[in-house]
Chain A
């Protein structure tokens, strides 16, 4: 028997690590990976609450979050490739002007 708050704390730690990664990293792909980490933390809290209240809708919502994350990854990585083709850098600090 594991208290639900343990699962929620783990989810919070993953989310906090995702936020820290989003703020401190400079490589655009790593920033994107921190977003995925945040989504995973949220998925864990969904499943934990589903187990606590006995509703399967929590697990179904995780399914939808995964689908949306997959679609967003595809489009986001395509944008990153397009940006890399024009700017030739993956460092977000150097992509700060609309002019090339």
Chain B
């Protein structure tokens, strides 16, 4: 009972944040609604017992990735969005289409779900067990992600660096 109440409360916060992201005109409000979504998702992970994943969600996603988004919005001084013809067409066609897709998925899920239910903290994801798995069964993907991050760092630094300007002519002749 408590599990259901907690799940519904944080699911409502999640969906409210996601809808707010779509509705807001200023990107900073969308970014902060996304932070709210990520924080409530961290609680949902805790309800399923994944404590390490929940902590990493807060540290990495809400605390680093979204900070990067907020930085870029602040740096580029992004203003409010304008509605163009393209966006009105996308609104009329896209929203019902995606909603229809979502409703179809939900209907299929409810039809074929059976009675599988999970209890509070169903699969405890202790850091020790996850660490063991990461370094034994999933060692190769772990090392490959480290190379991936290195490539991403190199790419980001190169792409975002200011283009080198040639030195200005000094105006003196010979």
Contact = CB atoms under 8 A, between A and B. Distances in A.
Interface of A: 1-10, 12-21, 23-27, 29-30, 32-34, 36-37, 40, 43-44, 47-48, 50-52, 54, 56-57, 59-60, 62-64, 66-75, 77-82, 84-85, 90-91, 93
B14 A63 contact: no
Given A27-B78, A80-B72, A52 B84 contact: no
A19 B98 contact: yes
Contacts of A74: 68, 152-153, 155-156
19 contacts: A1-B118, A9-B109, A13-B15, A13-B106, A14-B37, A17-B19, A23-B95, A26-B86, A29-B78, A32-B69, A40-B41, A52-B116, A54-B123, A63-B134, A67-B148, A73-B68, A78-B157, A80-B76, A91-B82
Contacts of B99: 16, 20
A63 B133 CA distance: 12
Contacts of A34: 21
Given A4-B117, A24-B94, A37 B41 contact: no
Interface residues on chain B, size class = 35 or more
A66 B78 contact: no
B115 interface: yes
Nearest to A40: B41
B76 A90 contact: yes
Contacts of A75: 152, 155-156, 159
Interface in B75-130: 75-76, 78, 81-84, 86-87, 90-91, 94-95, 98-99, 101-102, 105-106, 109-110, 113, 115-119, 122-123, 125, 129-130
Interface of B: 3-4, 7, 11, 14-15, 18-19, 21-22, 27, 30-31, 34, 37-38, 41, 44-45, 47-50, 52-53, 56-57, 60-61, 64-65, 68-69, 72-73, 75-76, 78, 81-84, 86-87, 90-91, 94-95, 98-99, 101-102, 105-106, 109-110, 113, 115-119, 122-123, 125, 129-130, 133-134, 137-138, 141, 145, 148-149, 151-153, 155-160, 163
